[in-house]
Amino acid sequence: MNSISTKTFCVVDHGAFLPVAQRLADSGAKVYYHNPSWMKAYPIMDEAIIGDGYPDFECAPDLWNIKDKVDCFVFPDIYHMGLQKELRKQGFFVWGSGAGMALETDRVFFLGKLEELGLDVPPHEIIVGITNLRAFLKDKKDIWIKMSKFRGSFETKHFRSYDLDEKLLDVWAFRFGGLKEHIKFICFPKIETELEIGADTYCIDGQWPSLMLHGIEAKDAAYLSSVTRQKDMPEQLLPIMQKLSPYMKESQYRCQWSMEVRVTDDADFFIDATCRGGLPSTNSQLMLWKNFPEIVYHGAQGELVEPIPAGKFSAECLISLSGERGAWESLVIPDSLSQNFRPSKCCNVGNKKWFMPDQMFESEQFNSYRDVGWLVAIGNTPTEVAENMNKLADELPDNCDADVESLAAIIREINTETEEGIHFSDMELPEPEIVLAE
């Protein structure tokens, strides 16, 4: 293999995957970072500065000005399908999910693909328009409501009952205005199981590596994974991946991949595909796979490179930053955390990371809390990882907090899954209190 340090990458991203650009730069490669978020009639500085000031890679506001200098384009997130296709047509190597991203962005297509492949399809109803949705929910309880594509407008919502959550329908009717009767809502009844298992890996034209992460997530809060041989992954996962392989090959899917499967006595329901870097799980792979840049560079050409692990387990905890509502906030990341604190959506000024106000995550209190990245620990035993996470969390600046409580909850969940026959590791898990110890 040619040295990665002689290559030039361009990472196309909207802020969440700054750590990918940093990891590629750590290999000695030349890295451009292109953030198209600011390109609109009235640009906003908050969006335009993402990635500015990092010493190890260069921001490229205009992709086309640097295109001919690039060996490999990296799309760690979804969207930009047409751009990926055009760059490949022009002969560039492209790491991205291509047309395969439809499994995440189009839920109706995803459900149809499951049925086409003979996989278990989660029970659901597709309801068009808020009036029909109101009638459908009138006598229902515990319905999970989803929408395709526009996560910023509508994130998955748990509708408890009409009595408790009727107000949500009024809010949505107001929010969507004249579009309210044309929106497709996908409604899922509660799946009666406590078992949700997942795989975090990558796929190259339908090929899966022999090592991947068996990961358990506390949604948007924490993550614990075990480096696991493909053949030793939970038996419910591999048949799904194998049946998807022809479609992934057809789509020229060359990107990371995460999946969530809810296991019942009668069925294995694949409920969500993540056709990009998982959040969490990406930062674990950046640390665990010693040859991550090689995986990306050669994967972009259609060649599967097996990962070389730096440890056997990983953990991630979401980091929140406190401050005044609506204000920019800064922090200095201690040198001891430089490899473990993976910030996103920020710029670098001197020795400080600056984070824009994030209206989506502000509380109603005077102090606001915004998600600013992930704290990552790896090790060779679950106990070592838990102890490392505890130590790292203690080193965070005073205005930062890592969600170690959710990591402790994951450990308890794994113990429950083990009792139900879902194997996580031959190694003994630590007591949840280890990660919570002062």
Q: Do 24 and 56 fall into the same domain?
A: yes
Q: Do 71 and 140 fall into the same domain?
A: no
CATH at 155: 3.30.1490
Whole-number pLDDT of residue 365: 42
- Residue 31 within any structural domain of the chain: yes
pLDDT in 10s for each residue of the chain, 438 residues: 468 999 999 999 999 999 999 999 999 999 999 999 999 899 988 889 999 999 999 999 999 999 999 999 999 999 999 999 999 999 999 999 999 999 999 999 999 999 999 999 999 999 999 999 999 999 999 999 999 988 888 888 999 999 999 999 999 999 999 999 999 999 999 998 878 888 999 999 999 999 999 999 988 899 999 999 999 999 999 999 999 999 999 999 999 999 999 999 899 999 999 999 999 999 999 999 999 999 999 999 999 999 999 999 999 999 999 888 778 899 999 999 999 999 999 999 999 999 988 654 444 444 457 899 999 999 999 999 999 999 999 999 988 999 999 998 898 888 877 777 777 888 888 887 777 776
Could you tell me the CA-to-CA distances from 326 to 43, 99, 194, 333 in Å, in that order? 18, 38, 38, 22
Residue 184, domain extent: 123-189
Could you tell me the CA-to-CA distances from 158 to 132, 164, 187, 222, 235 in Å, in that order? 18, 11, 10, 20, 29
For the range 47-52, what are the long-range contacts, defined as Cβ-Cβ under 8 Å and sequence gap of 24 or more?
A: 47/15, 47/356, 49/347, 49/354, 49/356, 50/14, 50/15, 50/18, 50/345, 50/346, 50/347, 51/15, 51/18, 51/21, 51/347, 52/347, 52/348
- Residue 181 within any structural domain of the chain: yes
Neighbours of 213 (CB within 10 A): 27
Q: Do 53 and 133 fall into the same domain?
A: no
Whole-number pLDDT of residue 2: 61
CA distance 143 to 227: 34
Torsions phi, psi for 93 (to 5 deg): -80, 135
- Residue 109 within any structural domain of the chain: no
Could you tell me the CA-to-CA distances from 398 to 208, 321, 332, 348 in Å, in that order? 42, 9, 10, 19
CATH at 50: 3.40.50.720
CA distance 377 to 388: 6
- Residue 78 within any structural domain of the chain: yes
Q: Do 19 and 93 fall into the same domain?
A: yes
Residue that finishes a domain, picked among 189, 224, 239: 189
Please report, as a single letter, which amino acid is at residue 194. E
- Residue 355 within any structural domain of the chain: no
- Beta-bridge partner residues of 224: 216, 315
Q: Are 383 and 430 a contacting pair, CB within 8 Å?
A: yes
**DSSP summary character for residue 210:** S
Give the total number of structural domains in the chain.
2
Q: Do 12 and 95 fall into the same domain?
A: yes
Report which of 126, 124, 163, 173 is spatially closest to residue 141, judged by C-alpha positions.
Answer: 163
- Residue 20 within any structural domain of the chain: yes
Q: Do 180 and 93 fall into the same domain?
A: no
Q: Are 253 and 205 a contacting pair, CB within 8 Å?
A: yes
Report which of 353, 340, 257 is spatially closest to residue 304, judged by C-alpha positions.
Answer: 257
Torsions phi, psi for 428 (to 5 deg): -70, 135
Residue that finishes a domain, picked among 167, 189, 211: 189
Q: Do 9 and 83 fall into the same domain?
A: yes
Q: Do 85 and 20 fall into the same domain?
A: yes
- For residue 118, give every residue at least 6 positions away whose Cβ sits within 8 Å of its Cβ, in sequence order, or none: 243
Whole-number pLDDT of residue 362: 41
Q: Within the chain, how many helices (H) and strands (E) appear?
A: 14, 21
- For residue 401, give every residue at least 6 positions away whose Cβ sits within 8 Å of its Cβ, in sequence order, or none: 319, 320, 322
Q: Do 20 and 94 fall into the same domain?
A: yes
Q: Do 48 and 83 fall into the same domain?
A: yes
Residue that finishes a domain, picked among 154, 169, 189: 189
The structure's pTM equals: 0.94
Could you tell me the CA-to-CA distances from 228 to 63, 120, 180, 423 in Å, in that order? 38, 25, 45, 11
- Residue 287 within any structural domain of the chain: no
- Residue 213 within any structural domain of the chain: no
Name the pairing type of β-strands 93-95 and 72-74: parallel
Query: What are the percentages of helix, strand and coil residues in the chain, rounded to 5?
Result: 35, 30, 35
Q: Do 138 and 92 fall into the same domain?
A: no
Q: Do 90 and 149 fall into the same domain?
A: no
